[in-house]
A and B are shown apart, each in its own frame.
Chain A
């Protein structure tokens, strides 16, 4: 209820945190204890086990609200990774954590949560990965936490949170042909910058957002992490409910911002006429129009289509449509990694894997793959990579000198074909 006792209404994130804390009204800056609806761990959860025992905890608070999804090294590519997996399997068995997405049923943790309906509108969800923000696209507050904090969540089912102020991003206009949700979020990053939303909630709204599909909304909320945001949220609507209709693991409790909610800042973005965008080295907010960068004929050594940001079936379908009948440029390595095993399976059924392999790309098993520089597709110094992932800090994908350009999935295909950073619209 808005406006009680002279206080102003609440933003979407404030509404969710009010529900989670059992308080009628919360305000930015207030420290609350939030009840957790869903806790997710990937390999970093192996570091949760020690603190969990050290705390003297005996049992996980609610085994049906804990999901484990290994994704960084699947199957284990190093002995160290094998040890992490083993620790998690043992802990899951001891604690009866049955919602374990292990090798063969695996995927990037955020995609696993999304496609299996683990996070629903109104939820407070936490995960041991920074891109947990992605699940805010269903109208939840979903945030990344560290493994020690996760141990406390597993023991108590709650955690302290400072209610964040909210930045509202209002988006108007229609995305042009060949311009995607990735280009939109890069545009927003260019405006808000990597520190612009630190500790804040980013609430997307406006006609353009309403027109986006759920996969596109996931891409937006995913990269609010790169703005420093605690969470990125989108109000649930008919698309959200339809997306979750068959999969929702617990009852939905949709919440909406009050009409008189107070926003710390409002950013208006008009996407009419907006070109594709690219984030240049060495920061996700070093954003320029793609045609400008393409004009510089930036030669690439590797191209990566993958990550939790952009490796859903829709991304890969669009990419395959552009790839079909073309060849990867000589001297370029093109790595395509679907975000989950079910997406992999769908790609197989639709003949998409064949499109990429015949073009000379390598289509891999689902995992975080080349995104984080610790598993495969690692860059040597002086190499240049075009990537559909989310970060391009020094050393993110291997050598600290390597240069990473972030772009949409279709832009990665255009770049893989020409061997230089290219505008996909010229090939569509």
Chain B
């Protein structure tokens, strides 16, 4: 997967998680939705770790490691194309 493809995949999984999160806020007893949430959360964590290892951190304030360099400041920022 290219960087773009990997980012798009992360956006897709994150979007599913936002949707499930809001649904669970008003349906907290729904165990099907909770199982789906956990499944996608695991997929996202795995993909994010791969992306971070290849292209640098996607989250600030200690949520992603900064292994070789402080690449948090590197382009592109999300608004740049």
Partners in one complex: no
